[in-house]
Structure 1
């Protein structure tokens, strides 16, 4: 059995920020997350029938790597460089780490 984990985040982006989020902001943030040790893959999905609803699926080598990255992101929330990214969010609806069982 592998130690890999999948992180799922479901979140809502403010209506006036959706286009900017999709075209610019998410790409910058993805590059940041890719720089963290243990990141394997990162996909972002958007809901078809609910504008502004997104799901990130991030694959990590192990839970320790995923938790380290989550802590770093929390710390960076106070950094003005990431203000455009964070100000686009309306709410985080769901955040969970999962392991494969079958």
Structure 2
């Protein structure tokens, strides 16, 4: 069995920020996350029937890498450079690390 962990995040972007989030903000943030050790893949999905609802699916080499990245993101959110990214968020609805069982 693999040690890989999938991180699932469901979040809402403010209505006036959705276009900017999709065309600019998410790409910059994805590049940042890709720089963290252990990141294997990163996919973002947009809800079909609910405007502004997104799901991120990030696969990490193991739980330690996933938790380290989550802590780094929390720290970086204190930096002014990430203010445009953070101001786009309305709320984080769900955040969970899971492992495949079959």
CA RMSD after TM alignment: 0.3
Q: Deviations over 1:19-38 (max 9, x none)?
A: 00000000000000000000
4+ aligned runs moved over 6 Å, structure 1: none
Give the CA deviation at 1:53.
0.0
1:90 aligned partner: 90
TM-score of the superposed pair, with normalisation by structure 2: 1.00
1:6 aligned partner: 6
In structure 1, how many angstroms separate the alpha carbons of the residues matched to 2:21 and 2:74? 19
In structure 1, how many angstroms separate the alpha carbons of the residues matched to 2:92 and 2:62? 23
In structure 2, how many angstroms separate the alpha carbons of the residues matched to 1:22 and 1:36? 22
Give the gaps of 5 or more residues in structure 1: none
Give the CA deviation at 1:51.
0.2
1:100 aligned partner: 100
In structure 1, how many angstroms separate the alpha carbons of the residues matched to 2:42 and 2:82? 19
- Matched residue pairs, number? 102
